[in-house]
Structure 1
Amino acid sequence: MSHPSETEICKAVLEFAAEGTYPDSEQVIAAEFPLSALSNELELITQARDEVETEISTLSRDNDFDIDDWISQAKQLHSDLERSRLTAREIVKQHESTIPLELKVGDAAAKVELVETEIVFNQAVTDTIEQVQSLCQQLNAIRPLYEGGQFTEAIDKLEATEHAISLDSCFKNTNVLVLLSENVAAMRREFVEFLRGRWNQHLELDSKHGKLAISDDALVEIISALERLNELASTNNQFQKELFFAILDPILLSNPDGCSYGVQIEESLILVDSKPSRASVPDVLGHIVKVLSFIRRSLPASILTSLSDSFIPALSSKLISHWLSTAIPTGLDDLSRFEATLNHVLQFTKTIESLGWHGQEELVSWTNQAPRLWLTRRRVDSLDQVRKVLAVSKGDPRQVERVEKRQVSESDEVLVDNSTSDDWDASWDDEKDDAPKNDEEDVSAWGLDNDLNDSKATNDDIASAADDDEAGEAWGWGDGDEDEGEDQLQAEKSQPKKSTAALADRAGTHDSHREITLKEHYTITDVPDPILQIIQQQVSDSEIISRPSHSSTLVSSSGAGLLALPTLILAMFKATAPSFYSLKLNAGQMYLYNDSLYLADRVRQVANDKQLSRLHGDVEALEKFGKLAYSKEMQTQRTIVTDLLDGAQGFSQCSEQPFLGDCENAVSATVDRLRTVYKEWQPILSHSALLQAIGSLVSTVTEKIIIDIVDLGDISETQSQKLVSFCNQLSKLEDLFLPETSDNAGPVPMTAVYVRNWLKFQYLINILESSLADIKFLWVEGELSLEFSADEVVDLIEALFAESDHRRRAIAEIKRVSRGL
């Protein structure tokens, strides 16, 4: 590498020196030269100088020429650099000394600004406090004004203060506004309480002693002030309540013995009597007129209008509810006095109007509706009488007799002579029974249905079954065992009454007829007769007020309305009777059945005698109601005996333990239940109705036993014997079906008449204990085919006897005879 020439080095030094002129401290400060940059630059210059000196020394050694001048200039340059360095350091030192001064200047400026802000704030607070003080002084000035009786000025100042507070922007969204508002509200409440105290002083009302003293001094100003403060309505309402409680309630609220308090009137005082006395409606109206006149005379007109708006309607309502409504008579004897009361009420409304009051429209309307109100009172009273009859009744039973006349043939008369039981209530029987439902068959239980053929019986049975379905739907029955019940019903209905028909055939038929009288006794409670009296009272009163002598009476137009009350009375009986009979009486549904049909028969007589065709529908509905009660009880008992008999489990394996014990218990419990029901119903139902009801229950039991035995696939000899013993145990119930007789001959049980499948049940016993030849003989020569179908007999033979030629021949013979039939 070649070294620079001397000329080049000198030139470079000169250029460096020319460029290295440095500014003084003032120029540095004026140019805002960074002190750190200046220090760095000086260091670089010093380093460059050293390098130049070193390079010059080297060159001077390598080049032998005179460079003293240049060294002298370099030293001069060095001294200039040292001087510049000192100057820079002084500049830095001076700059560092100004920083605390700047901080002190900033702190002093902040303090000045804070002081100025505090001065502004204090001035604002001072202004606000002065405004608050002024408003508080205004509020405090209100109290001396109203205490001195200057109510108008006090209200003006109060309103002005409220207005000032609401408009002053200094108080918006501040707690001061809340506090001032509370002070104003407190001053308003204090003002109002003061006015109310003055109100009470001028309207002195003593609720304890029933006294009102009125002095009208300054009362008008008080009323005006309360009105401006929007407190008159509440004050007036409170006064009205206290007035009612202290003065009018003692007059209007009657005591149970019809007593009321009178009033004494003085110039500015009204006083309620200390003791009540007997009073009528005119007396009460007179006392009220005195009170209204006193108030009208003593109170300023400015509150009378607002007082009348609510005072008279409230007074009218209490007068109607406590005196006028109770004055409505239920009988006809007090109608003249009631009309006089209505005249007094009308005169009272005119007096109210003359006094300048209003609001009596309710009293006028009530007077105009007097005929309808009287009819309503009669309706309420009659329905309440029905309720009371059931409430006070003890269910005391008594026997009644029903007599019915029938046209019968001589053949029927023979049967009547042999049977002393009257089936006048055959149509009352449970609608699932085979009891006839029309007049031609009402003597079926008497044994007089010999002229009925099987076709007619079937048609009537179908009609009876339909009626029973309606009854079941009405009571909500048949939900669980509907299909089974229908099958059982059809099985029962398919059995003709053969024993009765046979008796009729033996008696012979004749064309001659004569009238006979059927009588029978049954038991009712003490309920129907009072209810019948209530119905008869409505009919009788309707006839009386419809006469010309009552044409001018107020209720003359209500005669037709009274005839509608028997319908409501019977409806009330039907609505309340079920709970009464169920709770108070054993076998209550049977008592309800008897009472309903007895009452229906008596009401029918009233309807026929008075030609009230409108009651026939109610009579039919009452009869149906009684039959539904009977049906409900029958269904309950059917369910019980069926459940008891279910304990036998279909008599399967009835000859082996433990099934044998279950069967014995089930049959014994069923028989005991039937006898218990017989004893319970015997004093209630007529004899024929009792036999029909028990016969229906026995039919249910025997039908179930027949079905269970026929369904047995295999019956051993031991089982057959046990089944016969069970059936014989049930057959002992024949002693329940003995007719009432007066001759010395032993009565013949009429079980076959009342138990539809009794003959079939007896034939079943014969089949269970007979030989194959005996069964075939009963089918071919006897009447077994009248009770059993060929398939049923074949099933029993196959269950009872083992496979053999004799069995096959017997079955073939039975089928052959069946096809021939």
Structure 2
Amino acid sequence: MAFPVPDHLPKRAIPVDVSSKILHKVDATTKDTLSSSLAASWIAELDESIQATKQRVHDRIQTDFPTFHSQLEISKSVQSRLQSLTSRVNELDATISDPQTGLVPTLLSTLKKHSALLQEASDTTATYQGLAYLLRCRDSYTSLIALVQEGNLPDAVIAGRDVEELLEGMPQFLQQTNVALDLRNKFNSAKAWVQDQLSDAFSRSVIVSPTEIKIYHTVQVRQSQTMLQLPAILHSLSPASTSNHLSTLRRDILAHFVDHVLKQPYAVLIETSLIHDARLSLIPAPPNNEDLCSRLNNVSTVLGFLYSQLIPHLPSDDAAQLTRSLSKAITSSVLNNFLMPTLPSSFGLLPSYLTVLKRAVVFEEKDISRLLESDKNEGSIKAWSDGVSGHYERRRRIEILELARKEILEPETSNDIFEAFSEGGPETSLPSAVPVQMDNEDIQDDAWGFDEPATASTMNSSTDGLGLDEPVTSAARDDTADGWGFDDELEPESEQELAPEPEAKTPTDSVPADYIGQQADVEPDPADAWGWNEEDDLPAEDIPEASAWDDPWADPPESDTIPGSDFEPTLPSPPINFTSPRAATRLEKLASKHKKHVNGNSLSNSPAPSPLPPPLQPQVTFVPSSPDRPEHNPPPKSSRLNPGKRPAAVITTVAPKEIYRAPKRIKRIIKMVEIVIDESKLFFASNLFGSTSDEQAPAPGTILLQAAASILDLYQALYPIKFLEELKSPEKAMLFSNSCIYMSGAVQRIEDTIYGQPVLKEKLTECRHRLQVLGDSWFEDTVEDQCNVIDIILTDGAQGFTYTGDQDRYDECEMAVNEALKTIKRLAQRLKGVLTKTKYYTALGIVAEAALSRILRDILALPDIPEIESHRLSELCRILNSMEGLFSDNPNQPSFVVGYVPSWLKFSYLSELLEASLADITYLFEQGALVDFQVDEIVNLLRALFADTPLRTNTISNVLGQQSP
């Protein structure tokens, strides 16, 4: 069905011609309107249109009939002329292309015959010329073969060049012929055979074996009677063959008669008895009492033999190339195989070596430069000899550092330990005699004490060569801080209330009598409020004597006389407690980082100071009389971290001698450093090398001096990396810390013996500081790691001590506290004897403080503590009371745990407060017994322990009301 055209579209225009009109009508007709009459009308219209068209044509012709008739006649004339032209073209084609008589076939046949004749003539000419050229080639080749068969190889080489020229100039049409190819192959074979014979003749003329060089000036060609001269052979060899032979000859000569002769002692024998022969032989010589100059003489003899017997016979270009390559290789061999390996590693062998070095310079000038005609401006041996001082020092430094490396990396054994004494010398940070000038100036020191002036020490050599066990007298330092102080910063008002403390917070067993008189009128110690000084009131006879029970730091008997002083102190029976300023260290801050303020004042201002640790060693404090100094006012404290004012007084303290352990390897390393410095001094004083023209060259011994500091740097760089796994153990880490501290002191002693070497002294000072920092850092990091272990145990196991009313939770908390206690006790067993007594208690105190601080924070943070939980928390706190025994040297004496564990009293009161009543807590607070607690902590504890009653509210109000502004 046709698609209906929309009405809005424009209609197609009505066609003009008849056919289009009829087709339009057909198109518009439907099946309903189509009929025979309609179709007949369409046919009639077409017929009428045809008749009309014919009539119009006829009318058109008739309108201009003469013209039409003329055009008709012309068309007929053209048709007749076309037929005539066609017949004549056919006749011409037959004349030209007829196979028998046609012009083109006849011409082509004639040209073919002529071309064949010309090709025949050309082939004949080419054949003649080719045969003539091949005849010349055959004659030349025949002459070549004849010379080859006679063995006249040099003439055969010349004849071969003519044959080669003929073959290269052969015409193009002959080059690919079988005859030419066969001739070329035969010529190449003959040429190769000639070169093989010449190579064989050269090989039999110049024979090089590991111990002998034979040169035959005439040699017979194989399978002939012809004798060839060596020059003729050398000039007849091809360039490639000559280069290969000379390369092999150069390699063999350098390997067997230069390198080997420079490494081993030989006797050189030259035989020239035969007219045409020459022979050089190497005879092994005994190495005993060998003169090293003889090796250079042997190489000189070998070069002279080659120059007289071989080099003159070579072509000029090859001779120049061989001598140039030999000169460079021999110079390098003399340096690498003779001068450098024989460079002595000890100072005593240098004079004889310098004689050899002078002979090497003469060898370079006479034998290499002049004999081999090499470049005289090179002078490699001369340039190396000018710097032999530096070469010796660098090689010696490499050997020293290699020995040090082996010593450092050698595995340690349990027997490789010695006991060192912290005599207050440069071995430790504790001075033996510490005169402290108390003035009114602010002293600004850095946290590590690096800016302190170096002390000049007087040393005597000990039996072990290191001077480690001799007394050392140290000069005055700028501050009174001993490196191990644990004092807190004091406010000015509290400093007027506390008595002076000793350097290590220890009572002394021996003090001067005049100082006892000065202490007679000192006001009562505020610590009596705690009840810790009750035993101090006992008579002297009631105080039990100190015993060395389980004491790894027990000291050998020693004289009561202070080293470097004529004063002999009187030793009273009862010990007297006194204090003195001490330095604050990073470890002290780590131990007391959880201290908080009470009633607006710091803990250091507390009216109840901690009990003091027992005496470690006899300690004497000298207090010069001063009329202006009040007897009862202690000097204000100052530390390296927090400098302050110093009173106008001088207190000289002899620090106690303590024992600690360190590996013996550090003694050997320090001995290496001392030996290197002594060797450098001897090297500089010897003046073996004279003055040098190079102003920029370092003075003799300078490089060796650098090796001294390099040994220490090598130890610091290699040891912690090599023994990283071992250093994860606390005792190993502390041994490494002790090693660094010991070496720091030993380096200080070495510095005191050095004069006139500011660079070395500066380097040693830098090494000493780094060793001190490294030792302190390892000590502090090890302690901090153990604190982290304790913190993890309590954090993961106790989980904040919450819900201890549940039996399972209580068991978990009890297990965590017991595990922390066991860990601390195991650490105490591992570190006891490794560290000095002061550092031992310091480390143990910090770890114990970490445990107590974690428990205090967790319990005080609890928002609600029911009665059953308060009892159980109190029981958990009492578990750690057994740590008090770790801070005691004598079971019959009270412990000094409070001196090293700042939170001990606070923790002890916490266990009591958990089970105390409101009245008890109020009474303790009013009496000042809870000074270690902040007011907020007391208030939070009251709210957690007691129900919300008016009594609790009044108590909290009283506590808050008594808080100082």
Indicate if the aligned counterparts of 2:394 and 2:703 stay in contact, CA closer than 8 A. Answer: no
Amino acid at match of 1:298: Q
- Say whether 1:289 aligns with 2:263: no
Greater relative contact order, per chain length (Cα 8 Å cut-off, separation 6+)? 2
Deviation, 1:130, is 7.1
**Counterpart residue number, 1:251:** 261
> Once the two structures are superposed, what CA deviation does each residue of 1:31-77 show, in whole Å capped at 9, x if it has no partner?
549xxxxxxxxxxxxxxxxxxxxxxxxxxxxxxxxxxxxxxxxxxxx
1:269 aligns with 2:279: yes
- Is structure 2 residue 181 aligned with structure 1 residue 160? no
Partner of 2:909: 763
The code of the aligned residue for 2:422 comes to R
Alignment partner of 1:692 is 2:842: yes
- Contact kept in structure 1, 2:154 and 2:233, CA below 8 Å: no
What is the 5 A alignment of 1:528-567?
A: 528-547=666-685, 557-567=699-709
What is the rounded CA distance, in whole Å, between the counterparts of 2:178 and 2:864 in structure 1?
105
Counterpart in 2 of 1:313?
Answer: 328
Asked if 1:300 corresponds to 2:305, the answer is no
The structure 1 residue matched to 2:774, chosen from 611, 625, 645, is 625
Q: Which residue of 2 aligns with 1:216?
A: 217
Assess, with a 3 A threshold, how the Cα gap between structure 1 residues 504 and 721 changes in structure 2: closer, same or farther: closer
Question: Identity of paired residues, percent?
Answer: 19
Distance in 1 of aligned mates of 2:946 and 2:182: 114
> Which amino acid counterpart does residue 240 of structure 1 have in structure 2?
R
Amino acid in the other structure paired with 1:358 = S
Query: For 1:807, which of 934, 941, 952 is the aligned residue?
Result: 952
What is the RMSD computed on CA atoms of the aligned residues? 5.2
Instruction: Render the CA deviation track for 1:223-249: whole Å, top value 9, x for unaligned.
Output: 3344x6355444322221122233334
More off after superposition, 679-688 vs 314-323: 314-323
Match in the other structure for 2:445:
none
Instruction: Give the 3-state SS of the residue equivalent to 2:928 in structure 1.
Output: coil
Gaps of 5+ in 2: 1-72, 219-228, 273-277, 425-431, 437-473, 475-479, 490-499, 509-576, 614-630, 635-648
Q: Aligned partner of 2:679: which letter?
A: D
Residue aligned with 1:619, SS:
helix
CA contact (8 A) 2:267 2:283 kept: yes
Opposite residue 294 of structure 1, the aligned amino acid is: F
CA distance in 1, matches of 2:707, 2:587: 33
Give the Å deviation of 1:545.
4.0
**Residue-pair matches, total:** 684
- Whether contact under 8 Å (2:144, 2:156) holds in the other structure is no
2:740 is equivalent to residue 593 of structure 1: no
Query: Which residue of structure 2 aligns with residue 46 of structure 1?
Result: none
Q: Report the Cα distance in structure 1 between the residues aligned to 2:306 and 2:770, rounded to whole angstroms.
A: 60
**1:334 aligned partner:** 349
Alignment of 1:454-473 (within 5 A): 460=584
Check whether the contact 1:426–1:442 (CA below 8 A) recurs between aligned residues: no
Q: In the TM superposition, what are the counterparts of 1:472-511 in structure 2 within 5 Å?
A: 496=604, 501=609
Q: CA deviation at 1:692?
A: 0.9
Identify the residue that residue 642 of structure 1 maps to in structure 2. 791
Rate the CA distance shift 1:712–1:348 in 2: closer, same or farther, 3 A.
Answer: same
Gaps of 5+ in 1: 1-14, 34-93, 410-423, 469-484
TM-score, normalising length: structure 1:
0.70
Cα offset for 1:598?
0.9
Letter in structure 2 aligned against 1:380: I
Preserved contact between residue 324 and residue 372 of structure 2 (Cα < 8 Å): no
Alignment of 1:710-749 (within 5 A): 710-739=860-889, 746-749=892-895
Q: 2:420 aligns with which of 389, 392, 400?
A: 400
What is the Cα deviation at residue 581 of structure 1? 4.1
Q: Secondary structure at the match of 1:703?
A: helix
- Aligned partner of 1:444 among 471, 479, 504: 504
Q: Which residue of 1 is the match for residue 529 of structure 2?
A: none
Distance 1:760 1:129, change over 3 A: farther
- Matched residues in 1 for 2:805 and 2:192: separation? 100
Match of 2:320, SS? helix
Residues 651-670 of structure 1: matches in 2 within 5 Å?
651-656=801-806, 658-670=808-820
Q: Distance in 2 between matches of 1:175 and 1:568?
A: 80
Post-superposition CA distance 1:580-603 (Å, at most 9, x none): 444567533221111111111112
Counterpart pick for 1:520 among 658, 662, 679:
658
Q: Which amino acid aligns with 1:215?
A: Y
Contact 1:593 1:630 in 2 (8 A): yes
The 1:330–1:553 alpha-carbon spacing in structure 2 relative to 1, beyond 3 Å, is farther
SS in 2 for 1:784: coil
1:250 Cα offset (Å):
2.7
Q: Distance in 2 between matches of 1:101 and 1:812?
A: 155
Counterpart of 1:198, as a letter, is A
Report deviation, 1:177. 12
Partner residue of 2:765?
A: 616
| 1:521 Cα offset (Å) | 0.6
Alignment check: 8 A CA contact 1:545 1:551 kept: no
Instruction: Specify the SS of the correspondent of 1:288.
Output: helix
Is contact 1:582–1:588 with CA below 8 Å preserved after alignment? no
2:854 counterpart (681, 696, 704): 704
User: Aligned partners of 1:702 and 1:154: how far apart in 2?
Assistant: 110
For residues 696 and 450 of structure 1, the distance between their equivalents in structure 2, rounded to whole angstroms, comes to: 23
Report the residue type matching 1:632 in the other structure.
D
8 Å contact from structure 1 (residues 445, 688) kept in 2: no
Equivalent residues of 2:483, 2:585 under 8 A apart: no
More displaced, 396-405 or 236-245? 236-245
**Match of 1:45?**
none
Distance in structure 2 (CA, Å) of the matches to 1:655 and 1:173: 115
Tell me if the contact between 1:428 and 1:627 (Cα under 8 Å) persists in the aligned partners: no
Residue 573 of structure 1 pairs with residue 715 of structure 2:
yes
> Alpha-carbon deviation of 1:706?
1.9
Say whether the 8 Å CA contact 1:698–1:755 is kept in structure 2.
yes
After superposition, what is the alpha-carbon deviation per residue over 1:621-642, rounded to whole angstroms, capped at 9, x for unaligned? 2211222232332343333333
Q: 1:364 aligns with which of 382, 385, 388?
A: 382
Deviations 1:694-713 (A, max 9, x none): 21222222222222222322
Letter in 1 for 2:214: A
Aligned to 1:41: none
For residues 147-186 of structure 1, what are the structure 2 equivalents within 5 Å?
Answer: 148-150=153-155, 153-154=158-159, 156-157=161-162, 160=165, 163-164=168-169
The answer (yes or no) to whether the contact 1:427–1:442 under 8 Å persists in 2 is: no
* 2:596 and 2:934 in contact (8 A); partners too: no
Q: Please tell me whether the aligned partners of residues 331 and 364 of structure 2 are also in contact (alpha carbons under 8 angstroms).
A: no
Report the AA paired with residue 504 of structure 2: S
**Secondary structure at the counterpart of residue 782 of structure 1:** coil
Letter matched to residue 733 of structure 2: Q
The amino acid that maps onto 1:443 is E
Following superposition, the deviation at residue 566 of structure 1 comes to 1.9
Partners of 1:169 and 1:758 in 2: CA distance: 115
Name the CA distance, whole Å, in 1 between partners of 2:202 and 2:856.
Answer: 96
Report the alpha carbon displacement of residue 372 of structure 1 after superposing the two structures with TM.
Answer: 1.1
Residue deviations 1:545-571, cap 9 Å, x none?
A: 444887959999414444333222211
> SS at 1:558's partner residue?
coil
Structure 2 residue 914 is matched with structure 1 residue 783: no
Q: Give yes or no for contact 1:581–1:592 (8 Å, CA) kept in 2.
A: no
Q: 1:683 Cα deviation (Å)?
A: 3.1
Q: In the superposition, relative to structure 1, how do residues 240 and 781 fare at CA in structure 2: closer, same or farther (>3 Å)?
A: same
Shift in Å, 1:193: 4.7
Partners of 1:451 and 1:295 in 2: CA distance: 91
1:658–1:564 Cα change, 3 Å: same
